[in-house]
Amino acid sequence: MIPEISIYEILTVTSILFFIGVYGFITRKNLISILISVELILNASVINFVVINKYLYPDMLQGVVFSLFIIAVAAAETALAVSIIIGLYRQISSVEVKDVETMKH
């Protein structure tokens, strides 16, 4: 733990990051931007895992391990998302959400 910093402050920062991610997820109109917002959300929650592990259960490692898994899953997700975006770009020459909407029909 960091002696001078309380858990409240860190959790505040992560909450802010999380909601910035949510804001971006809802308002951005580009698939890559949405992907970036998702990364923000994921990172905010990873910090929470780690911090809570450190502050409340310092003799355990679950939080760390889980954050490792989250990073791995995020990497996989990003790789897939990027490949989908590229495939889509080949098909419709655009990665804007409004152009992809027709897929729902």
Site string for another protein, 62-81 (x = CB under 8 A): --xx-xxx-xxxxxxxxxx-
Told to check if 45 binds another protein by CB under 8 A, we report no
Question: Shortest gap between Cβ of 97 and another protein (angstroms)?
Answer: 7
Q: 41 φ, ψ to 5°?
A: -60, -45
Site string for another protein, 79-98 (x = CB under 8 A): xx-xxxxxx-xx----xxx-
Told to check if 56 binds another protein by CB under 8 A, we report yes
Question: Shortest gap between Cβ of 10 and another protein (angstroms)?
Answer: 7
Amino acid type, 100 = V
CA–CA distance, 85 with 105 (Å, rounded to integer): 19
Helix axes 62-92, 31-56, angle to 10 degrees: 180
